[in-house]
Structure 1
Amino acid sequence: MLDSLRSLMRPPEGMMFDFSRPAGEPALTPAHGVSWRVFANPVTLFVGGVAAVLLELAEPSVRSGVWNHSSFQRDPGLRLRRTGAAAMMTVYGPRSAAEAMIARVVRMHGQVRGSTPGGLAYRANDPRLLDWVHASAVFGFTEAFHRYAQALCASEKDAAFAEGAHSACLYGARGAPQSWRAWEALLAATAPGLEGSPILAEFLRIMDAAPILPAPLRWLQRLLVRAAVHITPEPVRSLPQLRGRALRTGEATLVRTLAWVATWLPLGDTPQLQAARRVASEPASRL
């Protein structure tokens, strides 16, 4: 099972990166801040990532952009690992590499546009949509860590949003919330436009069945998907496609145990450990 937990953090081919270099270069997020803790746990990263996508797919324009212009349907495992690798770079990567990666993503998003089935035009670089995508991601990862790995106080939840402000601006999400209260305000403002769809049901079906974990551990994969539904906020959690898909009695304890295992058992030379060595090192020019 430990190898399977490690696999959740393994980037796809072509996206491997040595986070220990260049010596001394800071990340976009503060070293050893709340974000560094949250993104170090592969169990809650998976849960939080699924919760974030559920929120994204409930927003009609984001849903059309994600579903029509990404590889979720063809290869969800690869799409999740690419997204995870990008998140690791944003949190742990040296600032210069993170900024270059974000610039590439922004250029790619510039080509993504279309219309929803209801006839509403959208473009991926719309600041309103970017604010929602960024906020739902920070919420998902932070809430999953809080609920299943380690309880966070109110100031730590605020910090999780504040620490992502710089990267959010680089992506174009200049109105993204920078505190938990601001997230709640954005959720309340967005809630009237959130809706269910067959795509939500299809996403859950794909996440239950996709070969993300080995076949003998597919039960664990389905458990973590239910854990994501469990923490998804209203009104999304009550949508017909999610109803009855949350954790069953006693399963939250099992998810917490898995998150504890991921926290305390060695997962190898993770991006967090590499980044910690990098920021603690003297820059080459000073050696």
Structure 2
Amino acid sequence: MLSAMREWMQPPAGMAFDFSQPAGEAALAPHDGIAWQLFANPVSLFVGGATAVLLELAEPSVRSGVWDHSSFQRDPGTRLRRTGFAALMTVYGPRSAAEEMIARVVRMHERVEGVTPDGVAYRANDPRLLDWVQATASFGFTEAYHRYVRPLSDAEKNAAFAEAGPAARLYGALGAPRSWREWEAMLANTAPGLEGSAILADFMRIMGQAQLLPDALPVSLRPLQRLLVRAAVQIVPEPVRSLPQLRGRGLRFGEAALVRALAYGAALAPLGDTPQVQAARRVAGHRARRTPSKNN
């Protein structure tokens, strides 16, 4: 199970990338910050990503943009892995590559626009929508780690939002929350416009039925995917968690302990050559050059 989950952290087909190069180049997120810890655990990474999408699909304009202009309905596994890879690039990738990737996404989003079923026009690069998407991602990954890996202090939660700032600004999310308190304020302000929908129900159906985890996961263990989806629902904040499509879909008695055990095992298991490990090798060269040799 854990070896299969680690595959979730590898670039999807056609997006191979060597995070160990160029030697010495820093990432957008500091190598000694909290973000490098949050994104290292494949269990909380999957759960947090799913939580973020649930929150995004509750916002009508974001929901229409995601559902009408992405491949999620046709190939949800690849779509989620591509999104996860983009998140890993903003944390572990060399700054130059991360900036190039984000610029490419921004250009692509310039073509994404439409009208919601209620007749509201939207643009993917609308700063208000970008702020919500960035906020939900920061919340999802932070809260999943806090609930299932280890408790985070208030300072660490604030740092998680602050460290996401450079990438958020490059995406155009200039008003994305920079602290946990700012996230709570944004959630409170956005809550009146959040709603359930048939699309949210479709998303839950797809997440329960489609094969989202790597092929290496044995068939007998694939019900664990549905466990992780329930773990994502469990940490969705109100009022979204009480929407009809999510109500009662969280963890059952005793399952939180199982998710924590999986996350704990993932933290202890050898990582392999994941983006985090490769990135650590890359930035080590930078630190070595800055540290004078004892022989000098």
TM-score scaled to structure 2, two decimals?
A: 0.94
Residues of 1 paired with 2:64 and 2:109: CA distance? 13
Question: What is the 5 A alignment of 1:107-146?
Answer: 107-146=107-146
| Partner in structure 1 of residue 39 of structure 2 | 39
* Partner residue in 1 for 2:239: 235
Q: Deviations over 1:147-196 (max 9, x none)?
A: 00011000000000000111100000000000000000000000000000
Match of 1:153 in 2: 153
* In 2, Cα distance between equivalents of 1:211 and 1:175: 35
Quick one: distance in 2 between partners of 1:109 and 1:216? 39
Structure 1 equivalent of residue 294 of structure 2:
none
Report the TM-score, using the length of structure 1 for normalisation: 0.97
Amino acid at match of 1:61: S
> 1:260 aligns to what?
264
For residues 140 and 86 of structure 2, what CA distance do their matches in structure 1 show?
16
Structure 1: which amino acid aligns with 2:167?
Answer: S
RMSD: 1.4
Q: What is the CA distance between 1:216 and its match in structure 2?
A: 2.2
Aligned residue number for residue 169 of structure 1: 169
* CA drift at 1:9: 1.2
One-letter code aligned to 1:233? P
Per-residue deviation at 1:27?
Answer: 0.2
Give the counterpart letter for 2:91 in structure 1: V
Partner of 2:200: 200
2:250 aligned with 1:246: yes
Name stretches of at least 5 consecutive residues in structure 2 with no aligned partner. Answer: 291-296
Q: Which residue of 2 aligns with 1:271?
A: 275
Letter aligned with residue 107 of structure 1: R
Amino acid at match of 1:181: R
Mapped partners of 1:247, 1:177: distance in 2: 28
Identity of aligned residues (%): 72
Unaligned 5+ segments in structure 1 are none
CA contact (8 A) 1:19 1:278 kept: yes
The answer for the alignment partner of 2:190 in structure 1 is 190
- Corresponding residue pairs, total: 286
C-alpha displacement of 1:217: 2.0
- Compute the displacement of 1:282 (Å): 4.3
Query: What is the CA-CA distance between 1:7 and the residue it aligns to?
Result: 2.1
Amino acid at match of 1:186: M
Letter in 2 for 1:256: R
